[in-house]
Amino acid sequence: MKTSALALVLGFALGLAPVLKASVDGQIGSDLVKLDGDQLVALGANALEKKKLVAFYYSAHWCPPCRAFTPELSAFYKEVSPKHPEFELVFVSSDQDADAMKKYMEWGKMTFPAVAFDKVGTSQWLQENSAAGIPYLVVFDADGKMVLGKAAGEDWRAPQQVLADLKKLLEKGA
């Protein structure tokens, strides 16, 4: 199986690059979770395999601007996800612990995957691609290139602006 550039980027993000160079199977799934009822469950290894755009949403429940934006993003995902199977959104928690992350995902009706809480703080890539503040939304293409997020010279860009640009990008069929 040929490993996509996005899979390699995610491999670096999750600290799995050496393994992902050989194969995606069985690797990413152990670090991506999804809320199923009241439990966080690991996703399968192929969860991001055919995605052309992957957005990372850095957020936390303790952050008032995050709580203001999360319902809008969750509603967007619920509407867009069935229409655009080439797109995925991944939550990156800045909460205090895994239980707070899970409660925030429940509260925010986040039906999209998340990086497992114990992997967030250990990933240099996730730290390098975060911003000076949250909430933060950043989008990468299948080649691992940032297509939406911080503009040159910026430390942070409002997620509402990124979401508006993402909507346009998906409408164009990117």
- Does residue 53 register a pLDDT over 70? yes
* pTM score: 0.81
Whether the per-residue pLDDT at 32 is higher than 90: the answer is: no
For residue 21, pLDDT beyond 50 = no
Ranges of H-type helices in 17-95: 17-20, 64-80
Specify the pLDDT at position 91.
92
Give the DSSP per-residue string, 98-127. Answer: HHHHHHHHHHTT--S-EE-HHHHTT-HHHH
Q: How confident is the model at residue 15 (pLDDT cuts 50, 70, 90)?
A: very low
29 in Cβ contact with 43 (< 8 Å):
yes
Contact in structure between 59 and 94 (CB atoms under 8 Å): yes
Does the pLDDT value for residue 75 go beyond 90? yes
Residue 101, pLDDT score: 93
**pLDDT at residue number 123:** 67
pLDDT in tens, 60-73: 999 999 999 999 99
In the predicted model, what is the mean pLDDT of residues 30-54? Answer: 76
What pLDDT was estimated at residue 79? 95
pLDDT at 45: 67
Fold annotation for 5-171:
Glutaredoxin (3.40.30)
- What would the mean pLDDT of 16-32 be, rounded to a whole number? 39
